[in-house]
Amino acid sequence: MSSTGASVADETPSPGGRDPLSGDGAATGRLGDRIFAGATVGAGLLVVVVVVLVGIFLLAQALPALRVDQASFFTSTQWHTGSTLAFGIAGLLWATVATSIVALLVAVPFSVAIALFLTQYAPRWLSRPAAGLIDLLAAVPSIVYGLWGGYIVAGKWAPIQDGVSTVLGWIPLFAKVDGITGGSTLFFVGLVLAVMILPIITALSREIFDQTPTTHKEGAYALGATKWEMIRTAVLPFGKAGVISASMLGLGRALGETIAVMMILSGLPQGAPWTWSLFNGGATFASKIASDASEFSGGLSTGAYIAAGLVLFVLTFVVNAIARVIIDRRKAFTE
């Protein structure tokens, strides 16, 4: 990965690269330093404490419900929280993961391309207003995405989806599911989520690409690289860790998105047959919790939903851990 042609003298750290001045010893002794360092540590620990408390809260609320759960929590798709508790998360997990993956697969390439456009390709007069335009997407509240997606785009999408499932229906992912209308499927929700997370990933990627050291870029050009080769060898490697980090933020939002998903996605009746199709309805963890939150009473039945929240929490944990490993491994390569 050191094919960037950067000189050895160039000490600009890559994002996610070596920590700046590790162990620089510059902070020893002085009172101001000790106070400031203490404040930063305090803030960091506060975040840890909050997350741990959330974890404890989720566990404490979920365990009693899990203890009396009459269904297999991980493999069942039923969700009964009336007088008898029988609930399982298989359906929720699939819907959450499927929509988020669709969203990420669509949004990341677009975001990177747009960030490259804004920082490397767009004429100067265009790049700033264009960036503002994309940021505007981040300003749209999720309930508006829900209205727009569910009430306006859904009808237009339905025939497209029917076409896709006619041609590609032999692939289980794109099989037609009877009784679920086009604009209310997992796949469609994934697309709307992609639009929602696009500005987040774009904004951060843009900032990072923008910071690619000129020396790296000029080095690439000096070696006769075309613009695309320069991007591939200088900009992208420099920004990779940052893009992954930004994608994780986007993924976090997709996994936890509530209102828009709730408004768009069709619910399934109890005992609906299992299918791997993306053209099916369902409910994600967050949308399930939110749509039933109106009947929460804080006892055992609520615990079932909290247990679902706990799985989402753990899911995020795992996804982030994987992302960490990827970033760290890449770091090892770059160094």
Partner 1 sequence: MKALRISQLAALSVAGTMALAACGSASNDDAAGGGGTSAAAATSSSACTPGNLTGAGSTAQQNAMAQATAGYKARCGSDVSYNGTGSGAGITSFITKQVDFAGSDSALNPQGKDGDEVAKAAAACGSPAWDLPMVTGPIAVAYHVKGVDTLVLTPSVTAQIFSGKITKWNDPAIAKLNPGVTLPAEAISVFFRSDSSGTTDNFTNYLNTAAPSDWTAKHAKDWSGKVGQGKAKSAGVSQAISSTEGGIGYVEWSFAITDKLKMAQIDNGSGPVALTAESAGKAVEAATIAGTGNDLALNIDYSTKAEGAYPIVLVTYEIVCSKNADPAKGKAVKSFMSYLVSDDFQNTLTSIGSAPLPTSIKDKVTAAVAALS
Partner 2 sequence: MTTDIAAPEAPEAPRPTVSLDGRSGGRKAKNTLATVLVWAAFLLALVPLVWIMWTVLGRGFHVLLSATWWQKDQSGALPPGFDTNVRGMRHALVGTLLMSLLTTVIAVPIAILTAIYLVEYGRGRVARVVSFMVDILSGIPSIVAALFIFAAWVTTFGLKIIPACASLALAMLMIPVVTRSTEEMLKLVPNELREASYALGVPKWKTIVRIVLPTSFSGIVTGVLLGFSRVAGETAPLLLLAAYTPYLNENLFSGSMAALPTLINNQFLSINDPISGQRVWGAACTLILLVLVINLLGRLVGRLAKVKR
Binding site for partner 1 (CB under 8 A): 79-83, 150-151, 155, 179-181, 184, 262-263, 266-271, 281, 283, 291-302
Task: Kindly state whether residue 98 participates in binding partner 2, applying the rule CB under 8 A.
Answer: no
* CA separation for the pair 19, 29 (Å, rounded): 21
> Strand, coil or helix: what is 86?
strand
Task: Kindly state whether residue 181 participates in binding partner 2, applying the rule CB under 8 A.
Answer: no
| 267: partner contacted, choices partner 1, partner 2, none (Cβ within 5-8 A by kind) | partner 1
Task: Kindly state whether residue 289 participates in binding partner 2, applying the rule CB under 8 A.
Answer: yes
Task: Kindly state whether residue 271 participates in binding partner 2, applying the rule CB under 8 A.
Answer: no
Choosing from 66, 158, 236, 249, the residue that interacts with partner 2 (CB under 8 A) is 249
User: Both tokens of residue 57?
Assistant: 């809260």
Task: Kindly state whether residue 329 participates in binding partner 2, applying the rule CB under 8 A.
Answer: no
Query: CB of residue 238 vs partner 2: minimum separation in angstroms?
Result: 10
Query: CB of residue 17 vs partner 1: minimum separation in angstroms?
Result: 46
Choosing from 208, 268, 278, 307, the residue that interacts with partner 2 (CB under 8 A) is 208
Closer by beta carbon to partner 1, 28 or else 294: 294
| 283: partner contacted, choices partner 1, partner 2, none (Cβ within 5-8 A by kind) | partner 1
- Distances from the Cα of 279 to the Cαs of 91, 181, 262, 306, 310, in angstroms? 14, 9, 16, 27, 27
CB atoms < 10 A from the CB of 152, how many?
11
Q: Report which of 255, 251, 256, 278 is spatially closest to residue 266, judged by C-alpha positions.
A: 278
| 163: partner contacted, choices partner 1, partner 2, none (Cβ within 5-8 A by kind) | none
Query: CB of residue 274 vs partner 1: minimum separation in angstroms?
Result: 14
Burial 182-219 (b: 16+ CB within 10 A, else e): bbbbbbbbbbbbbbbbbbbbbbbbbbbbeebbebbbeb
Which residues in the 301-320 window bind partner 2 by CB under 8 A? 306, 309, 312-313, 315-317, 319-320
Q: DSSP string covering 198-217, please?
A: HHHHHHHHHHHHHTS-HHHH
Task: Kindly state whether residue 326 participates in binding partner 2, applying the rule CB under 8 A.
Answer: no
- Distances from the Cα of 73 to the Cαs of 65, 178, 303, 307, in angstroms? 11, 27, 13, 9
Beta bridge partners of 80: 86
Q: Report which of 135, 139, 103, 142 is spatially closest to residue 204, judged by C-alpha positions.
A: 135
Choosing from 2, 3, 36, 84, the residue that interacts with partner 2 (CB under 8 A) is 36
Closer by beta carbon to partner 2, 12 or else 166: 12
